[in-house]
Structure 1
Amino acid sequence: MLVILDFGSQYSELIARRIRETQVYSEVLSYRTSIEQLKQLNPKGIILSGGPNSVYDQKAPACDPEIWNLGIPVMGVCYGMQLMVQQLGGEVDRAERGEYGKASLRIDDPTDLLTNVEDGGTMWMSHADSVTRLPDGFELLAHTENTPCAAIADHERKFYGVQFHPEVVHSDDGIALIRNFVYHICDCEPTWTMETFVEEAIREIRAKVGSQRVLLALSGGVDSSTLAFLLHRAIGDQLTCMFIDQGFMRKYEPERLLEIFDHQFHIPVEYIDARDRFLEKMVGVTDPEEKRRRIGHEFIRVFEEGSANLGPFDYLAQGTLYPDVIESADTNVDPQTGERVAVKIKSHHNVGGLPKDLQFKLVEPLRKLFKDEVRNVGRSVGLPDEIVRRHPFPGPGLAIRIIGEVTKERLNILRDADFVVRDEINKSGLYHDFWQVFAVLLPVRSVGVMGDQRTYAYPVVLRLVSSEDGMTADWSRAPYDLLESISNRIVNEVEGVNRVVYDITSKPPGTIEWE
């Protein structure tokens, strides 16, 4: 395995994902992880992530300097490289010119770390500080027009640093650089597969749960459905699936979910109609964080009440994933000052929305996986392709795709508009060309003309994005005729809508969801 020490970068999990693409297990840990803990894990190498700080700041986060005496390869990325330089006797200063976005990498030493990395290729930069003096034993591997030390190495001790971000898709040959570090420098072997994960997860589930009962919050999405199949294989009848219809699902989805689980795979599902209950919790609520918090809390309350009718349960199973955890930023809080190293983007209902008096112990075997890995686990445990390839759908559902207060009228409008979007995408044969496609309802009205009459109705936003992992995303260049057919159908079929607009914002600076 490899360890990534996280200094607050939003891309730390992405580094882990890239390493796992090489079929080597990686794990993200806090930069405060002690040397004793690292020795117990016995990693083949360590990567220091980027971060929002400057190494010369008074309270800049730093790892234990004993890391340099472990005798294993270490690679610093962006802030991680600057920290390596500073701790080993070099210097880092504010750059005359920062460097953000694409930069052409000029290679000075094409061997070792930069083998098969093209000279002049693009690498993604995001830094205001630069290395101004290398520590003893280091040499220059590459530079850019604005950054004299874009890649450095101490070959003898196997210490490496890159000022750019090889983990992002914008970096040409970034994965080649990561492979060089993983295979040739750290001498790892490609033994991390989803088949081995399933075997290990089943062992861990059985050891943790024993003979106790588990209640699964089934939503019908890829994550919870994969978890249901995995848990059913591990503990059989000890698992009870409960589907709570909170009224925020897409059109026809509750019916389809019960058909697949009950009739096709004979996995019993307890159905609870809680639509009125959840809608009542949304009255007067406009803040998206408050929406997520209330929905998360209400989910737990309904589970607690439902479980009392079905018999006592010791564990609650959740399909929490790595991106949920990193975006909720619960892992990098200074225990003494309470300050966050990573900036919280948004709370996820299954991470930041759980009440402190939770009556269950949690089972979250997918917590360290990315979405594409979960899909592969789903295939390994027999999940039907219809669910495996389903687009991601947020736990709070349509409630966070209605900007402002959630009402029954707005839910009906959005549900109908969203159905049109997905129906047209399916008819076009392009469903699997997108990461996500959905509609957003705005709490404003605009003037329109229908049948020679003035209208004053809602606008609907189309959000069609492309992504590999959900950590970054770009708006999709959808065919104009597809956008036209979606727009025509929405304004003609969905009462209360007279305008359709297209969101052409990437992530970052936006997020995939609007709330």
Structure 2
Amino acid sequence: MTDSAPAPETPLSTRADVDEVVVLDFGGQYSQLIARRVRECGVFSELLPHHVGAAEVARRKPKGVILSGGPASVYADDAPPLDAQLLELGVPVLGICYGMQLLARELGGRVESAEVGEYGRSQLTVQEHGTLLRGQPDDQPAWMSHRDTVYTPPAGATALASSTSSPVAAFEDVERGLFGIQYHPEVVHTPYGQQTLETFLRDVCGCAMDWSAANIAEEQIRLIREQVGDGKVICALSGGVDSSVAALLVHRAVGDQLTCVYVDHGLMRKNETEQVEKTFGEQFEVPLVVVDARERFLERLAGTVEPEAKRKAIGAEFIRIFEEEAAKLAGAVSDDDAPEGTEVHTSGDVSAEGARFLVQGTLYSDVIESGGGTGAATIKSHHNVGGLPEDLTFELVEPLRALFKDEVRAVGTEIGLPERMVWRQPFPGPGLAIRIVGGEVTQEKLDILRDCDAILQEEIRAAGLYRELWQSFCVLPDVRSVGVQGDERTYGYVVAVRAVTSDDAMTADWARLPYDLLDRVATRMVGEVRQVNRVVLDITSKPPGTIEWE
């Protein structure tokens, strides 16, 4: 749910007796993650736009309300405001980051811009544990992302903690049921954050904490049937866990009404196209159309260097291909009419005449990084969100749009997706194109990057570290360096190795890979990939960086 969409007329929970906590989205990158963490505590949580109003929140009869963070300053002219009537609903309210600053300002506290912003890990010092921080250590790490700071808590509230740049990093007014924390308890880099949320839900809100996400698959299958009816559907299949789970959910829901379309854009990792064909065409017996569009995408990307332009070009070309395939399946055109550079072959009983629905494995992390809502900052446009053309003719079916990767994997396990696919590391839709940085995409660069990435993956799997990493991959900057190989001067490419740990892709830490592993990787790349003479390691966390370079 984002600000650009209205709140649903009825709560999403299928149980009338379940306790619910509403999270109001003020445009923060972590807003959906707050709701996810609340669900992990066994309490159903729904994310609503901040402007839905107190009456709409009250209609849901929540046990509590959480105000999310956001990118704005509370003093900015266009800053999302706080509906003061929310504080009169008679339920506890917890403000996080921007939400805490809104609470403090509304209640008469002092909020000002600090001289130094606080981003990433910080040290939290607890002076008073109160109710919210009961049972937690006096000193603990916490994840911060803010510049405005609360200097004085509201009258009647008790300051609980401080940090390096935040005189008041937590406060509470138990009598009025108002709580604020400057740090982000929802991210994994705040080790006591989940305990803080559990305390708020159990001890403050009085939630039963008995909700389970086990019914996600069943609920999504029901929703797909309602949306699609007897219509024909095309699924954008990449072979990754997101599109694979989406495909199987839709296949469970509508069966032969689905045709999967896999586009080989030439930007995949080594041997992945063959793996996709074998898994879906043979193992799952899902009708599958394989489109060889490698030449088309290379021509489309020729001369394109800027990352947003790459993403939008790839997204637009994907949609054009799906529209062409829909026309072919409807009998409007034949394969002979396919644009130059495109070849098509099929497996299974392909029949999608009149297809007007397009399935995508879009996740909520894609949506919010693409600026999925009023007040949300655009970090980068994902090809299946911000890269979609304005004249899109399909109605989108996105059963995973409200889920994070860990929930998608849980659904995949529930519906029988093989473990090796469930735990496949994330791979961007634009593929290797956005891992060729600072220059145009060419066949030579793709081959170099594919070979280096295959070496990295082989060594990481051999070391038993694949499941421990969120992502591991290579980046090929448009940079050459001088080297010496065989007593001769070389002028070759530099390859960067990127490996991170994360739970949700919203934050990530660089992985401390063993030195001997890095040594094997670098030695093999320089020795086996002729055009490479230097290997470097990216040790940047997210934030301030992103996981991908582009």
Task: Return the TM-score normalized by structure 1.
Answer: 0.93
| Structure 1 residue 459, shift from structure 2 partner | 1.1
Aligned to 1:322: 364
The answer to whether residue 469 in structure 2 is matched with residue 417 in structure 1 is: no
Q: Indicate how the Cα distance of structure 1 residues 440 and 45 shifts in structure 2: closer, same or farther if over 3 A, else same.
A: same
In 2, Cα distance between the equivalents of 1:143 and 1:513? 33
Aligned to 2:475: 440
In 1, Cα distance between the equivalents of 2:413 and 2:495? 35
In 2, Cα distance between the equivalents of 1:145 and 1:319? 41
Secondary structure at 1:367's aligned position in 2? coil
The answer to whether residue 112 in structure 2 is matched with residue 93 in structure 1 is: yes
Query: Which residue of 351, 376, 388 maps to 2:385?
Result: 351
Give the 5 Å matches for 1:129-148: 129-144=148-163, 147-148=166-167
The answer to whether residue 523 in structure 2 is matched with residue 504 in structure 1 is: no
Any idea what the Cα deviations from partners look like across 1:312-335, whole Å, max 9, x if unmatched?
Answer: 112101111011011001312xxx
In 2, Cα distance between the equivalents of 1:27 and 1:18? 11
User: Is contact 2:482-2:489 (8 Å) kept?
Assistant: yes
Q: Indicate how the Cα distance of structure 1 residues 145 and 265 shifts in structure 2: closer, same or farther if over 3 A, else same.
A: closer
Aligned to 1:337: none
In 2, Cα distance between the equivalents of 1:268 and 1:127? 49
User: Is contact 2:476-2:496 (8 Å) kept?
Assistant: yes
| Structure 1 residue 94, shift from structure 2 partner | 4.1
Give the 5 Å matches for 1:113-512: 113-144=132-163, 147-310=166-329, 311-332=353-374, 341-403=375-437, 404-512=439-547
Secondary structure at 1:231's aligned position in 2? helix
Q: Indicate how the Cα distance of structure 1 residues 107 and 388 shifts in structure 2: closer, same or farther if over 3 A, else same.
A: same
User: Is contact 1:194-1:380 (8 Å) kept?
Assistant: no
In 1, Cα distance between the equivalents of 2:162 and 2:536? 43
| Overall identity of the aligned pairs, in % | 55
| Structure 1 residue 132, shift from structure 2 partner | 4.2
The AA in structure 2 aligned to 1:113 is: L
| Structure 1 residue 70, shift from structure 2 partner | 1.8
Any idea what the Cα deviations from partners look like across 1:283-330, whole Å, max 9, x if unmatched?
Answer: 000011000001000000000101111221121011110110110013
The AA in structure 2 aligned to 1:507 is: K
In 2, Cα distance between the equivalents of 1:263 and 1:94? 59
User: Is contact 1:251-1:416 (8 Å) kept?
Assistant: yes
| Structure 1 residue 472, shift from structure 2 partner | 1.0
In 1, Cα distance between the equivalents of 2:383 and 2:115? 43
In 1, Cα distance between the equivalents of 2:146 and 2:476? 37
| Structure 1 residue 168, shift from structure 2 partner | 2.6
| Structure 1 residue 365, shift from structure 2 partner | 1.1
User: Is contact 1:108-1:141 (8 Å) kept?
Assistant: yes
Aligned to 1:106: 126
The answer to whether residue 69 in structure 2 is matched with residue 35 in structure 1 is: no
In 2, Cα distance between the equivalents of 1:319 and 1:24? 26
In 1, Cα distance between the equivalents of 2:222 and 2:27? 32
Deviates more, 1:166-175 or 1:493-502: 166-175
Aligned to 2:84: 65
Aligned to 2:332: none
User: Is contact 1:327-1:344 (8 Å) kept?
Assistant: yes
In 2, Cα distance between the equivalents of 1:357 and 1:144? 49
The AA in structure 1 aligned to 2:75 is: Y
Q: Indicate how the Cα distance of structure 1 residues 430 and 172 shifts in structure 2: closer, same or farther if over 3 A, else same.
A: closer
| Structure 1 residue 274, shift from structure 2 partner | 0.8
User: Is contact 2:471-2:501 (8 Å) kept?
Assistant: yes
In 2, Cα distance between the equivalents of 1:133 and 1:413? 56
In 1, Cα distance between the equivalents of 2:516 and 2:189? 29
Aligned to 1:335: none
In 2, Cα distance between the equivalents of 1:444 and 1:19? 45
Secondary structure at 2:22's aligned position in 1? strand
| Structure 1 residue 136, shift from structure 2 partner | 4.3
Secondary structure at 1:353's aligned position in 2? coil
The answer to whether residue 96 in structure 2 is matched with residue 77 in structure 1 is: yes
Unaligned runs of 5+ in 1: 333-340
Q: Indicate how the Cα distance of structure 1 residues 126 and 393 shifts in structure 2: closer, same or farther if over 3 A, else same.
A: closer
Aligned to 1:336: none
In 1, Cα distance between the equivalents of 2:160 and 2:263? 56
In 2, Cα distance between the equivalents of 1:189 and 1:272? 51
Secondary structure at 1:395's aligned position in 2? coil
Unaligned runs of 5+ in 2: 1-19, 330-352
In 2, Cα distance between the equivalents of 1:467 and 1:5? 24
Deviates more, 1:14-23 or 1:359-368: 14-23
Deviates more, 1:139-148 or 1:244-253: 139-148
Stretches (4+) displaced over 6 A: none
Over the residues paired in the alignment, what is the CA RMSD in angstroms?
1.9
Aligned to 2:30: 11
Q: Indicate how the Cα distance of structure 1 residues 350 and 189 shifts in structure 2: closer, same or farther if over 3 A, else same.
A: farther
Any idea what the Cα deviations from partners look like across 1:366-408, whole Å, max 9, x if unmatched?
Answer: 1010001100000000000010010000000011111120011
Secondary structure at 2:132's aligned position in 1? helix
In 1, Cα distance between the equivalents of 2:373 and 2:403? 16
In 1, Cα distance between the equivalents of 2:207 and 2:405? 24
| Structure 1 residue 38, shift from structure 2 partner | 2.1
The AA in structure 1 aligned to 2:288 is: V
Q: Indicate how the Cα distance of structure 1 residues 267 and 131 shifts in structure 2: closer, same or farther if over 3 A, else same.
A: same
User: Is contact 1:6-1:31 (8 Å) kept?
Assistant: yes
Q: Indicate how the Cα distance of structure 1 residues 514 and 135 shifts in structure 2: closer, same or farther if over 3 A, else same.
A: closer
User: Is contact 2:122-2:163 (8 Å) kept?
Assistant: no
In 1, Cα distance between the equivalents of 2:245 and 2:405? 11
In 1, Cα distance between the equivalents of 2:251 and 2:211? 23
The AA in structure 2 aligned to 1:378 is: G
Secondary structure at 1:55's aligned position in 2? coil
| Structure 1 residue 477, shift from structure 2 partner | 1.0
| Structure 1 residue 453, shift from structure 2 partner | 2.2
Any idea what the Cα deviations from partners look like across 1:24-64, whole Å, max 9, x if unmatched?
Answer: 33233332222333234433321112233332344332122
User: Is contact 2:258-2:287 (8 Å) kept?
Assistant: no
User: Is contact 2:66-2:94 (8 Å) kept?
Assistant: yes
In 1, Cα distance between the equivalents of 2:52 and 2:249? 31
